[in-house]
Amino acid sequence: MVKPPSSSAAPGGAGGRGPAHHRTRLLLLLLLAVAACASTAGFLLRGAMLDACDEARGDSSAVATARTGAVAGSPLGFMRSKLVLLVSHELSLSGGPLLLMELAFLLRQVGSQVVWITNQRSEETNDVTYSLEHKMLSHGVQVLPARGQEAIDNALKADLVVLNTAVAGKWLDAVLKDHVPQVLPKILWWIHEMRGHYFKLEYVKHLPLVAGAMIDSHTTAEYWKTRTHDRLKIQMPQTYVVHLGNSKELMEVAEDNVARRVLREHIRESLGVWSEDLVFAIINSVSRGKGQDLFLQAFYQSLQLIQQKKLKVPTMHAVVVGSDMNAQTKFETQLREFVVKNAIQDQVHFVNKTLAVAPYLAAIDVLVQNSQVSHNFDAAPFFLFFPVH
């Protein structure tokens, strides 16, 4: 595990350019460590195992924290009693909010005071929102209305404000108004968006003045850098790349022999898949750019190939976990039409978004993950295949 901290890395410690600057920088560095722990397989693998990033945690956190040289016991120990305001663009079972929630719980574990704000709250009572809020409250995360004096007070008092996603930038002017300049130096802006229509001043005009930006891949960071410069004539702040990875804990549940057998049987039965069938799955919110279309095309092509070459292989299935017919209807409708058109309904299974992903990891044989091709951002994602078992 990680080396003990050097004393100069403690909050308010020696060196740096003034305590405020130093503190901000330190917070950023340690958040990198957190984010390295806050990992996903796809974007949905959160919730079931939220106590990530403990002492026994894996390599990425160790590397990140070792680099910062600022670790005391828990890598986040220094965040004890700090006030952190998390601003989420929405609260749903999609990657962005779930990652932020995980961060909230990690901070709670080390004794931070955590306040959560959801900028776009859906009007209708929503079971998902309700249960996620409930989960946060039960972890001691305070949930506040996005607007109003209390939100402003917390932003002013906070030691750190995390704005989650580019879209959340709308919250700044709308709520903080004149106070925006006071809050900007404490903002870590965690950006997950990868596509062009988010490059709008409406969202990101304050980006140059925040303490730092955190982006999920080098390709995306590069894309943000050039797009904001070329199109918006603004400069990115200090930007940190923190990859999302697979959740080690979820993988361990999925690998546990007894649990795995039970979960595997249960899920396979619910999908109508035999135990000897071969199951590929992609676990992501179904949306354009996440690669489910390519996954299904590849799956269909391999079925054709098997048929043409008369290969003897087990019956194959494709499982798409992350379906949401309320949200990305057009894209998902296209996927479903593709399936029907090619008559592969019996072998393609759509599963609604869920926090309980471990059973699917246990039930499948191959997890498919998307990735972006370097230097050619708009190119289609390609896939990494690796055996789950």
Taking the C-alpha atoms of residue 161 and residue 170, their distance in angstroms, rounded to an integer, is 14
Minimum Å distance from CB 40 to ligand NAG?
21
Minimum Å distance from CB 358 to ligand NAG?
18
Backbone angles phi, psi at 52, to 5 degrees: -70, 170
Minimum Å distance from CB 24 to ligand NAG?
42
Minimum Å distance from CB 206 to ligand NAG?
35
Minimum Å distance from CB 280 to ligand NAG?
20
Minimum Å distance from CB 346 to ligand NAG?
18
Q: Which residue has the tokens 């989960």?
A: 135
Taking the C-alpha atoms of residue 216 and residue 245, their distance in angstroms, rounded to an integer, is 10
Minimum Å distance from CB 32 to ligand NAG?
36
Choice between 122 and 326, CB closer to ligand NAG: 326
Strands (E), 47-164: 83-88, 113-118, 142-144, 160-164
Count of chain residues binding ligand NAG (CB under 6 A)? 3
Choice between 329 and 374, CB closer to ligand NAG: 329
Minimum Å distance from CB 352 to ligand NAG?
4
Taking the C-alpha atoms of residue 258 and residue 262, their distance in angstroms, rounded to an integer, is 7
Out of 122, 226, 326, 329, name the contact with ligand NAG by CB under 6 A: 326
Site string for ligand NAG, 271-310 (x = CB under 6 A): ----------------------------------------
H/E segment holding residue 319? strand 316-323
CB-based closest residue to ligand NAG: 352
Residue 368 tokens, joined: 């498919």
Minimum Å distance from CB 317 to ligand NAG?
17
Q: Please report, as residue ranges, which positions from 348 to 367 form the binding site for ligand NAG (by CB under 6 A).
A: 352
CA distances from 45 to 250, 283, 360, 361 (A): 8, 8, 10, 10
Strand 160-164 versus strand 83-88 pairing type: parallel
Site string for ligand NAG, 81-110 (x = CB under 6 A): ------------------------------
Taking the C-alpha atoms of residue 377 and residue 386, their distance in angstroms, rounded to an integer, is 23
Our finding on whether 131 is near ligand NAG (CB under 6 A) is no
Choice between 352 and 374, CB closer to ligand NAG: 352
Choice between 20 and 356, CB closer to ligand NAG: 356
Out of 1, 313, 325, 356, name the contact with ligand NAG by CB under 6 A: 325
Starting at the edge strand that comes first in sequence, how are the strands of the sheet with 278-283 ordered? Answer: 348-352, 316-323, 278-283, 366-371, 382-387
Choice between 137 and 356, CB closer to ligand NAG: 356
295-301: Cβ within 8 A, 24+ apart: 295/320, 295/368, 295/370, 295/383, 296/320, 296/335, 296/338, 296/339, 296/348, 297/338, 298/383, 299/344, 299/347, 299/348, 300/338, 300/342, 300/344
Q: Are 150 and 116 in contact (CB under 8 A)?
A: no
Choice between 124 and 178, CB closer to ligand NAG: 124
Contact footprint for ligand NAG (CB under 6 A): 325-326, 352
